[in-house]
Amino acid sequence: MIKNYDTVKNLLASSNGLAVVQTTLPSQAVVIAKGLLEKGVKAMEIAYRDKNNYDGSDECIRAVRDAVPEMLIGAATITNPYLARRAIKAGARFILTAGFNPSTVKYCVKKHFPVFPGVSTPGEIECALMYKLDTLKLFPVKLLGGTEYLKTLSGPYPDVNFIVTGGVNAENAEDYKKCQNVLCVSGSFLCK
């Protein structure tokens, strides 16, 4: 069993969205976290996107965790166990992967750390279910078919919930929130 998995899921469900934050400056990450809380958004992810695997993301997570402890802070675009290990050490409360990478998922599960792997197909959903993960990041949701795709997935996977991202914006977020299998919406639009 993954420690705090249900707690993190519940916090995400009540967070008013998961803000995608792309900054390498800890001071900026703290300002963004405080601004999000003022808007009622209680969860954010720091994206690891530097091809050299060092971009300041660790420091951003650490700064937010220390300065804004009421913010649920996660690490995203985690593509390998090395980045997962760094994010956990920096103080992330959960991991989001870009796609379904078995080695990253295994690492997080072995560490009993909350992980929400990225999926886009039924096959990837079933791989995640083998690890007893029932909440997944659906990416890129808009290109996959949006709310219609989510409705289709609810048939064969009634107990799976999704963090939806990739084409979610201020105009369509409410439509996604109405889907019974959406845990929360995610996107950079929440930072605006």
Q: Which residues are part of the catalytic machinery?
A: 45, 137
Q: Are strands 18-21 and 115-116 parallel, antiparallel or unpaired?
A: unpaired
The string of DSSP letters for 58-101 reads: HHHHHHHHHH-TTSEEEEEEE-SHHHHHHHHHHT-S-EEESS--
Distance in angstroms (rounded) separating the CA atoms of residues 179 and 161:
10
Buried b (16+ CB within 10 A) or exposed e, 67-84: ebeebbbbbbbbbebebb
The two tokens of residue 120 are 């886009």
Distance in angstroms (rounded) separating the CA atoms of residues 82 and 107:
9
> Are 128 and 147 contacting, i.e. CB atoms less than 8 angstroms apart?
no
The two tokens of residue 23 are 């900054």
